[in-house]
Structure 1
Amino acid sequence: MAASALAGLVSACAGTPVQTAASAPPVEAVPDTAQDAAQDTGQDTGERQIADLLSRMTLERKVAQLIMPDISSVTPADVEKYRFGTVLNGGNSGPYNNDFAPAQDWLKLADEFWDASTKPLANGEPAIPMIWGTDAVHGHANVIGATIFPHNIALGATGDADLIRQIGAATATEIEVTGIDWTFAPTVAVARDDRWGRTYESYSEDPARVAEMGVAMVEGLQGKPGADDFLGNGRVIATAKHFFGDGGTAQGVDQGEVNGDIEDLKEVHVTPYPPAIEAGLGSVMASFNSINGKKMHGNKALLTDLLRGDMGFDGLVVGDWNGHGQIKGCTNDNCPQAMLAGLDVYMVPEDWKALYENTLAQVKDGTIPESRIDEAVGRVLRIKQRAGILDGEVKPSLRENAGRWDKLGFAPHRAIAREAVAKSMVLLKNNGVLPLKENANIVVAGSAADSIAQQAGGWTITWQGGGELTNEDFPGATSIFAGLQQVGQSANADVTLSPDGDVASSAKPDVAIVVFGEEPYAEFVGDRKDLAFRDAEGLELLRKFKADGVSTVAVFLSGRPMWVNRELNIADAFVATWLPGSEGAGVADVLFGKAPASGTLSFSWPENCDGEPLNGPEGALFPVGFGRSLDDTKPFATLSEECAALTAGGASDWFAAGRLADRVKALSKGTELPDLRGSAGGIVARGIDRNAQEDAREITFGPGTALDLSGPQGGDAYRITYQVTQRPAGPVTLSSNGATLDISRELLIAEGKGWREMVLTPACLAGLSNALTIGSQAPFSIQISAISQEDAAEGAECSF
């Protein structure tokens, strides 16, 4: 980013610099005269610059400063026409609609947006440079080749604030390499119910630890106020999120309800914000959740009276993905309530044009006072000013770190990440098998052992992570297996990979390391009804090796503490490894004793599987602060393996909240569509928003195509929530177990009727099985938000 804002302001006041190919003109303030100085009312130079810019902006340009579209739906030409103040890339948005775009394309698009926003305007109206915000929540992990740091839950387990400052600084540099100015990090949520799908974005259940780590990350990203590099080169604008209560929702439901005495809630969930504000925090993101029945995006008492008044925050308040649309009486494209409540920037990924026009009309008719618009625009200008963006800064590709591809996945950054991995690992059990011995014959098992995507978790290249990602998508990164092999060489150990655990009887290993855990997820997709870990792959491998008389080390990947009593009982050593990111060698450093096992739990570990919130020692198998050293081999008492959740009749959801359930597959002509996204066999499936970000799919069929769905048998009927916006051009059929049903007429009737339910029973598809095919003879598109299996009442009819 630019040199310090103070230096830039002095330059701007000295006059207009000559414009060169490497420099755009500053957004100039009116020069002082001797008379002006004599009559100075005390406003500093920066505030006078902002007041001057506001005085010369049209209402249309002011409103545009408050609209943040997503790069997947806005072009540089749109930015030039409207002069939006900000853009973002969502979790599934890459330059030129390519999630896997090379780093060079990120910088190229940053330049195009910059150029569009700074083209001169008529009549002396200032051309305000735009800024780009990104979700760099564990490194600049949207970008291929970046260093991917452990997620926050792991960083909380390190207890090392200085290390987190280093991570913030490294992340800021890698963001700058691609020309981006602003990150929506750190998350300072205090997660109080680990069933929440964003638990791994929280440093701890302890507000004090969250506050300490949050400040460290803000200082790492932005620098410290008063320092020469504060928001200067090598620094970016930080965002504390989500204000407030996101981690305190009932039953851990993402975007849900937080209830209780407001002072008690503030004591937990507001605690991390004041120290972050004192550290110079640039922006705050409003939360999706409600507080005692009122959505935060529309809560003036909290967004304005508390955050601005009581807490003294003078930075920018930005919305979350269409969060304003969840306010009662609002839609994504029409919501004056949010602006009146204290939101400064609407994050409106797709409906930006209509929201812009509606907001402009609401200012003109007095629904929103122009003074409120001026206040919000002033805050946008102020954060740009503090970051040097208003002061003749060169366009992104000509800044100090831009295009320094050697600093993306930079070796010193990877070293910091590797250190963080090692320091975050929490040793829960060790009967003496660790540290691994020299000259040992070691087999590494489990499908996650050589999967960088799984060890990195969500918010990695794509929003949900995992899915179609392979190790080839992570150049320079190291899987856990590769790290073990690398570090094992120095210990003369023979380390081999066997994902399924099969080894020759003549080559019986001394130790088996079993790597297993949660599949990647993000946000509400990760919400759980309990904390029972169900995937049996790791358990079966541990049992197999035990039966063969082989010592075992369980390496558990997860975004939260989970009930793994069965695995804890059978393993000789058990390590909570969280989501370590791109540097799997950090795991090996601890297992081989090259680094100490120093991580301690920042969340209580559950003794039971029901998932009731744990925020202290009561009901905890291991309390906050627990962690063994490698020489701690105290006996481990056998744990109860009773878990009613494992045997109770569970939900038979096949597709819900934007995710396919475990063991449910979607294929087109034999090619898998992970989580029902992507293209194959003439079918294109893309995420759309129904009630939340990408919680539904739009599936477009080419002529003569079919979508094959299969999964565990959960009943003899299907229930599909769907919407038809345009009637099919030819026959559409459903097939299962040899039976076929033409539903073209039903879809024609459903056209334009909104979301509906389709219930398929044996009455119309005899002998429904655990496989269902949707076929179309002509081009056709359908939107689907849920698919489930259930037991139909005897004689139940089908319905559409």
Structure 2
Amino acid sequence: MSTERKVAQLIQPQINSFTAEDMARYRFGSYLNGGNGGPDGDEFAPAGKWLAYADRMWDASIGPLPGDEPVIPTIWGTDAVHGHTNIVGATIFPHNIGLGATRDADLLRRIGHATAKEIEVTGIDWNFSPTVAVARDDRWGRTYESYSEDPRIVAELGAALVEGLQGTPGDADYLREGRVAATAKHFFADGGTDQGVDQGDVNGDIESLKAIHAVPYPAAIDAGVEVVMASFNSINGVKMHGNRDLLTGVLRDEMGFEGVVVGDWNAHGQIAGCTVDDCPQALLAGLDIYMVPDDWKALLENLVAQVEDGTIPMAKLDEAVGRVLRLKLRLGLLDPNAAKPSARPNAGDYALLASADHRALAREAVAKSQVILKNDGVLPLKAGARVLVAGNAADDIAKAAGGWTLTWQGGGELDNSYFPNATSIYRAIESEASAQGGSATLSPDGTADAGAHDVAVVVFGEEAYAEFVGDRKTVVFEDTEGLDLLRKFKAAGLPTVAVFLSGRPMWMNRELNASDAFLASWLPGSEGAGVSDILFGKQDATGRLSFSWPADCGGAPVNGTQGALFNLGYGRSLADRSTMAALPEDCGYLTEGVSTAWFDLGRLDSGISAMGGDTRLPNLIGEGGGVVARGFDKDRQEDAREIVFGPGSTLSLSQRGDTSGDYRILYNLASQPAGPVTLTVGEREIDITRNFALSAGKGWREMIITEQCAPGLGNRIAFTSDAPLTIQIARIARQDMPEGAECSF
């Protein structure tokens, strides 16, 4: 193989950034579809178009080459993290947090096998799953991708899913019919970042970190996992994609992993000294495949040049290429008679997508994942009951499925028409109630006559999210839709059942008090009947918490009995009808009347002055002192401000007279700062450059500054940037935060 062809085996672009002609010219070793990617730019393309695309790229990759250079077919990787959920009509299994509550390794093997078959229908070879993160801070936006805070549970269930996807090494069906390559991710400690910040830093003694976060990897390796994905996060300040001590020293030398190490989405570009199109450091550290969605051509050319000039030894390149080729060999793709995707087993058998067997399996998984936290006697629902089903999530399949469902973030504009092979929780309740001689009425806003019903089931929860978009500063569930409905029905004398959809345990004391039964339903996916099976007692509740449930509001991580309302392993059977004492509802994050907005909804408070240098910026709009502030639409017209700093410029806000409370600032940064940025609070100057660097590109974030980290907060704050900087600000407020609240820098 020529140097260019070797390097191409290590390049993995996304399908929206190259053509079949590019594939024929460059011969990428692999490619992927991102969370919002689909064939020919259509993320909702029917399964047949996905299969046709796989054929087109296969054909482009196996055309003859000059001379005796070998032809190496490409492979396609996808994020089928809870079923083949990029495909309209596929089975949607519960997210990992729910599967962790089942404690059923055999169930995970069967789910892996079913998912592999549905992936094969579309001609794809490789799944970027399972996530074997050990989530230790539930504020992390990827908590639902973790099976448990307990590494032993994660190890057992992660290995089981690997076996389901790939088969067992040595068996005749290993990586053959009904099987695809699996990926254990993200190596390592992605679930251990400070304050649960996605892609953030993990600090501590390396052996102590390994004792928690590395535990699932030997189990996955023993199960034969073919691929490990490197993580975005840093360990003690060093990005994993460039950490040779861990990628090579621990993963390969210590754990004995011999398979492929693949990167995550442009994560190599975060290594110190790297850009997304120029990063020999990652290959030298132990990466085999660069996931480079769009900048593939420049990266390929730079890597070729770096091999030719000796920056990358040819032996190092050959090691990485050899591992990629061995993966393809085990997949059977280097056989001269290897079939194109559409000619392989299960390809084009669209009846396998959400087949009766797969839907039954998903329903079983949903039922086994439900955890009853409270039941004062209302469950199981009685035969013949007239059930009022309320809450906007009751008939919303996308909300029950969560992120990584058809789109990267899930939810949003995905109504039930996008899920032709699914049953909402309401439809399942309606069907079962009718079968038992009763009835069910859907009333999302709860306006139906309570007196005409025997019980109310309120289905509510978090909006869908994925990755850093789901990062939170607290685990307080602030949306009061479900709470208001529960209180309304309770006041009317109607027994209430809360069905809570979430990607993490949350502080729910108010909702627990307002309900007669409370079901932690997690993100169950496409089979609402699994929820109704528990509600009506068609099977007993066996789900048990795989995460500690917080007793107090706030942001302190709970991993164990200290601070837990319900411990790891808690969960009631339907026969357990013991009453629960009322829980405290005080929460500083929810206290009304103590928050004073300096700037909100596009307006400065009348007592606040904003200055660019020495120039006043009325209502935080205008230009002065090297600062330009203009209106910006966040949720409505000009409800925020975009602030452009010139080099060395300062924006300050101050309040006349006495003031009190901690600071909360809602902001968004599109890109990392080009130079130091400081925040002056009162008389104290704080370097926030690192905080901004970690926040850049991650959407709207909240900065919290308390007396604990900045004594003498005073009545003035000022941002100063040494280099040009653009930031968007939606809200600045003063609020007395709960004792122990963490600062966000």
TM-score (norm 2): 0.82
Distance 1:709 1:290, change over 3 A: closer
Q: Deviation of residue 528 (structure 1)?
A: 0.4
Partners of 1:438 and 1:291 lie apart in 2 by: 55
Cross-structure match for 2:662: none
Partners of 1:645 and 1:123 lie apart in 2 by: 69
| Pairing partner for 1:455 from 400, 408, 415 | 400
Q: Return the letter of the residue paired with 1:789.
A: R
| Pairing partner for 1:199 from 122, 143, 149 | 143
User: Do 1:147 and 1:414's aligned partners in 2 also have CA atoms closer than 8 Å?
Assistant: yes
Q: Deviation of residue 100 (structure 1)?
A: 1.0
Partners of 1:712 and 1:533 lie apart in 2 by: 27
* Structure 2 SS opposite 1:359: helix
| Alignment partner of 1:501 is 2:446 | yes
Q: Deviation of residue 624 (structure 1)?
A: 0.3
Q: Deviation of residue 416 (structure 1)?
A: 0.4
Q: Deviation of residue 718 (structure 1)?
A: 2.2
| Alignment partner of 1:182 is 2:126 | yes
Aligned positions, number: 629
| Alignment partner of 1:380 is 2:303 | no
| Alignment partner of 1:62 is 2:6 | yes
User: Do 1:146 and 1:174's aligned partners in 2 also have CA atoms closer than 8 Å?
Assistant: yes
Cross-structure match for 1:270: 214
User: Do 2:288 and 2:321's aligned partners in 1 also have CA atoms closer than 8 Å?
Assistant: yes
Distance 1:712 1:484, change over 3 A: farther
| Alignment partner of 1:718 is 2:663 | no
Q: Return the letter of the residue paired with 2:192.
A: G
Q: Return the letter of the residue paired with 2:151.
A: P
Q: Deviation of residue 709 (structure 1)?
A: 5.0
Cross-structure match for 1:491: 436
User: Do 1:91 and 1:459's aligned partners in 2 also have CA atoms closer than 8 Å?
Assistant: yes
Cross-structure match for 1:404: 349
Cross-structure match for 2:706: none
Q: Return the letter of the residue paired with 1:152.
A: N
Distance 1:486 1:390, change over 3 A: same
Cross-structure match for 1:132: 76
Q: Deviation of residue 611 (structure 1)?
A: 2.1
Distance 1:755 1:470, change over 3 A: farther
Partners of 1:297 and 1:651 lie apart in 2 by: 41
- Equivalent residues in 2 for 1:68-107, closer than 5 Å: 68-107=12-51
Distance 1:172 1:553, change over 3 A: same
| Pairing partner for 2:248 from 301, 304, 319 | 304
| Alignment partner of 1:789 is 2:720 | no
Once the two structures are superposed, residues 92-121 of structure 1 have per-residue CA deviations (whole angstroms, 9 ceiling, x without a partner) of 111111111111111011001100001111
Percent identity, please: 65
Distance 1:654 1:214, change over 3 A: farther
Cross-structure match for 1:538: 482
Q: Deviation of residue 785 (structure 1)?
A: 7.6
Once the two structures are superposed, residues 14-39 of structure 1 have per-residue CA deviations (whole angstroms, 9 ceiling, x without a partner) of xxxxxxxxxxxxxxxxxxxxxxxxxx
| Pairing partner for 1:435 from 361, 364, 380 | 380
| Pairing partner for 1:349 from 293, 309, 314 | 293
Cross-structure match for 2:418: 473
Cross-structure match for 2:92: 148
* Structure 2 SS opposite 1:589: helix
Cross-structure match for 1:260: 204
Q: Deviation of residue 508 (structure 1)?
A: 2.1
User: Do 1:429 and 1:574's aligned partners in 2 also have CA atoms closer than 8 Å?
Assistant: yes
Partners of 2:347 and 2:387 lie apart in 1 by: 43
* Structure 2 SS opposite 1:367: coil
Once the two structures are superposed, residues 699-735 of structure 1 have per-residue CA deviations (whole angstroms, 9 ceiling, x without a partner) of xxxxxxx996545998xx6235799xxxxxxxxxxxx
Q: Deviation of residue 382 (structure 1)?
A: 0.5
* Structure 2 SS opposite 1:574: strand
Cross-structure match for 2:274: 330
* Structure 2 SS opposite 1:577: strand
Q: Deviation of residue 547 (structure 1)?
A: 1.3
Q: Return the letter of the residue paired with 1:788.
A: A
Partners of 2:499 and 2:289 lie apart in 1 by: 43
User: Do 2:642 and 2:727's aligned partners in 1 also have CA atoms closer than 8 Å?
Assistant: no
User: Do 1:464 and 1:521's aligned partners in 2 also have CA atoms closer than 8 Å?
Assistant: yes
Distance 1:198 1:386, change over 3 A: same
Partners of 1:645 and 1:90 lie apart in 2 by: 36
- Equivalent residues in 2 for 1:219-234, closer than 5 Å: 219-234=163-178
Distance 1:542 1:269, change over 3 A: same
* Structure 1 SS opposite 2:67: helix
* Structure 2 SS opposite 1:516: strand
Q: Deviation of residue 650 (structure 1)?
A: 9.5
Distance 1:521 1:116, change over 3 A: same
Q: Return the letter of the residue paired with 1:99.
A: E
Once the two structures are superposed, residues 66-96 of structure 1 have per-residue CA deviations (whole angstroms, 9 ceiling, x without a partner) of 0000001011111110000000001011111
| Pairing partner for 2:568 from 610, 618, 624 | 624
* Structure 1 SS opposite 2:573: coil
Q: Deviation of residue 791 (structure 1)?
A: 7.2
Q: Deviation of residue 790 (structure 1)?
A: 3.8
* Structure 2 SS opposite 1:285: strand
Partners of 1:131 and 1:454 lie apart in 2 by: 32
Which 10-residue stretch deviates more, 486-495 or 181-190?
A: 486-495
Cross-structure match for 1:159: 103
Q: Return the letter of the residue paired with 2:428.
A: G
Distance 1:623 1:503, change over 3 A: same
Cross-structure match for 2:604: none
Once the two structures are superposed, residues 563-596 of structure 1 have per-residue CA deviations (whole angstroms, 9 ceiling, x without a partner) of 0100001100000000000111100000000011
User: Do 1:69 and 1:88's aligned partners in 2 also have CA atoms closer than 8 Å?
Assistant: yes
Q: Return the letter of the residue paired with 1:428.
A: L
Partners of 2:403 and 2:418 lie apart in 1 by: 14
User: Do 2:598 and 2:733's aligned partners in 1 also have CA atoms closer than 8 Å?
Assistant: no
User: Do 1:67 and 1:347's aligned partners in 2 also have CA atoms closer than 8 Å?
Assistant: yes
Partners of 1:786 and 1:595 lie apart in 2 by: 51
Partners of 1:533 and 1:721 lie apart in 2 by: 34
Partners of 2:599 and 2:558 lie apart in 1 by: 27
Which 10-residue stretch deviates more, 553-562 or 539-548?
A: 539-548
User: Do 1:721 and 1:756's aligned partners in 2 also have CA atoms closer than 8 Å?
Assistant: no
Partners of 1:362 and 1:525 lie apart in 2 by: 36
Instruction: Structure 1 unaligned segments of length 5 or more: list them.
Output: 1-56, 656-705, 724-752, 758-782, 793-800
Distance 1:418 1:786, change over 3 A: farther
Q: Deviation of residue 631 (structure 1)?
A: 1.1
| Pairing partner for 2:458 from 489, 492, 514 | 514
| Alignment partner of 1:563 is 2:507 | yes
Partners of 2:518 and 2:95 lie apart in 1 by: 20
Instruction: Structure 2 unaligned segments of length 5 or more: list them.
Output: 602-630, 647-672, 678-724, 735-745
User: Do 2:632 and 2:642's aligned partners in 1 also have CA atoms closer than 8 Å?
Assistant: no
| Alignment partner of 1:122 is 2:66 | yes
Cross-structure match for 1:482: 427
* Structure 1 SS opposite 2:15: coil
Q: Deviation of residue 389 (structure 1)?
A: 1.2
Cross-structure match for 1:423: 368
TM-score (norm 1): 0.76
* Structure 2 SS opposite 1:304: helix
* Structure 1 SS opposite 2:17: coil
Partners of 1:569 and 1:712 lie apart in 2 by: 39
* CA RMSD across the alignment: 2.3
User: Do 1:721 and 1:787's aligned partners in 2 also have CA atoms closer than 8 Å?
Assistant: no
Partners of 2:595 and 2:278 lie apart in 1 by: 42
* Structure 2 SS opposite 1:72: helix
Partners of 2:435 and 2:501 lie apart in 1 by: 25
Partners of 2:87 and 2:291 lie apart in 1 by: 21
